[in-house]
A and B are shown apart, each in its own frame.
Chain A
């Protein structure tokens, strides 16, 4: 019997190792450049991965000139605020859609569904005009600036449908028991149902956080003050600040990546298990 060729594990590993290396090589090369001292030519042919003039000076240099702590705090405020609002608003909207009967339920459902089809990039001009009209810009105050960064992303259809799905999965007896015990509808929602949908809240929180943390287009449109910059905007700004000083640009880019890298490694099972993928992302 002719046995067709079967991929041996060794070939699988060779391919997967190559792809893994391709995935991280741009970062490796950035790290390598960031660790090269001034006496080493960063354009040397052949390129050297291991720095011959090893130094941390680029990191301390860029750290002194750029307010990374400030950018980090701004990003934390924006991502944190966006996550909290998404959790509360998505759960509150998902609950009646899953559990209650009311006039206009169908139309509400389809109106929310319709927002999935509207890309932010297509409506960003009116969003910008409205944000200015509401005075949610950093020229008014820092607080208003943060509100302007957060509010357009405070809730979206993906989050609402995710939470609706979570509430649909809870047995109705839970609510009945709570009502018999004398809870009102708000207490049922807040004390009984919310604890039961914690896994979905965690998924929503993590994906909202990543999305908000990496957001670049909106903050680069609305922000006017450098002290309000989030990390992506600040990192992009490195290019202008240090023009062709690639040692500093590389060091700054790597520095800015450390927080999200830690977050990813700590939460990696949520990302790579495959159960939650596509649940929230727009």
Chain B
């Protein structure tokens, strides 16, 4: 095809997006590293260069390990559930049954509702004399401090994240299920396979790439949780529900210790970039083919 555009046209078209990406992605990306070598804690207006001291401080700080550990618990609990349970739901919904659209709308509802409202709704369910403790006591147990007991707070918050994500991943799985050839199921049924073997031998292998994709996306978003924690527990009690992003927020915007918070941000950056690289290189390669 003949070249109908001038020499500068491509650059002019790219320019507006490039300006935004440079100012709000690339510069901040490098500046995050730069800030992590500065000490803001004495004078916020005159930071001093302290080399790797923020990292030393970070790795000597027990809260850092607590926060890191909490974030990994978040991953280990939320990710497997979000990778498996929505698939099960998608398989159920993918049958010729009535009311499919209504089920999809209801299960998707938590996805579109603001996380702040969702967190408030759960805070109310978790109240000391709330409805969940009614169920717990009716079953003959002691009422739980869902958000006030350090043993449970983190898991109570994780439940909200899971509850809000199920619909999203279910729809991703539904799209993937459409691509499984029907003949495979028919062959399976002739062999007399039951529900479980049918899906373990046909569905799961066929949509393995989607399962892997959901695993990495949900892992990346689990690394980034903030609002649930901010609204429900503020990271407490005793740091028991504090995760990386909340800790960055707290150190930066409440303690104004930007250097320390940036060292923390670098740790987050490295972890998320590893997950993202796996995602892009393994599962979404064809989407980004040049």
Contacts and interface: CB of A to CB of B under 8 A. Distances in A.
B52 interface: no
Interface stretch (A51-59, A100-108, A137-145): A100-108
B75 interface: no
A223 interface: no
Contacts of B29: 118, 123, 126
Most chain A beta-carbon neighbours within 10 Å: one of B175, B193, B288: B288
A97 B289 CA distance: 11
A27 B21 contact: no
The interface centre, meaning the residue of B26, B112, B245, B248 with most chain A CB atoms within 10 A of its CB, is B112
B120 A125 contact: no
Interface string B260-280: 011001101100110011001
A130 B117 contact: no
A110 B101 CA distance: 39
Interface in B16-32: 16-18, 20-21, 23-29, 31-32
B6 to A, nearest CB: 7
A20 B31 contact: no
Interface string A151-169: 1101100001100010000
Interface residues of B, number: 105
A108 B113 contact: no
Nearest to B111: A271
Interface of B is mostly: helix
B67 interface: no
A123 B27 CA distance: 9
Interface in B98-144: 99, 101-118, 120-122, 124-125, 127, 129-131, 134, 137-138
Contacts of B175: 274-275, 277
Contact of B13 (A46, A96, A101, A263): A96
Nearest to A96: B10
Interface string A190-230: 00000000000000000000100110110011000000000
Given A106-B290, A235-B116, A7 B195 contact: yes
Interface string A14-39: 01100110111011011001000000
A271 B118 CA distance: 19
A68 B250 CA distance: 28
A1 B117 CA distance: 54
Contact of B113 (A4, A113, A260): A260
B171 A122 contact: no
A130 B107 contact: no
B114 A2 contact: no
A13 interface: yes
A69 interface: no
| Most chain B beta-carbon neighbours within 10 Å: one of A2, A217, A277 | A277
Given A130-B28, A161-B288, A117 B276 contact: yes
A201 to B, nearest CB: 15
B82 to A, nearest CB: 14
B109 A92 contact: no
Interface in B173-191: 174-175, 178
B113 A160 contact: no
Contacts of A268: 101, 105, 108
A217 B276 contact: no
12 contacts: A12-B92, A20-B102, A100-B9, A125-B261, A126-B29, A185-B6, A216-B115, A253-B116, A256-B114, A260-B113, A264-B112, A274-B172
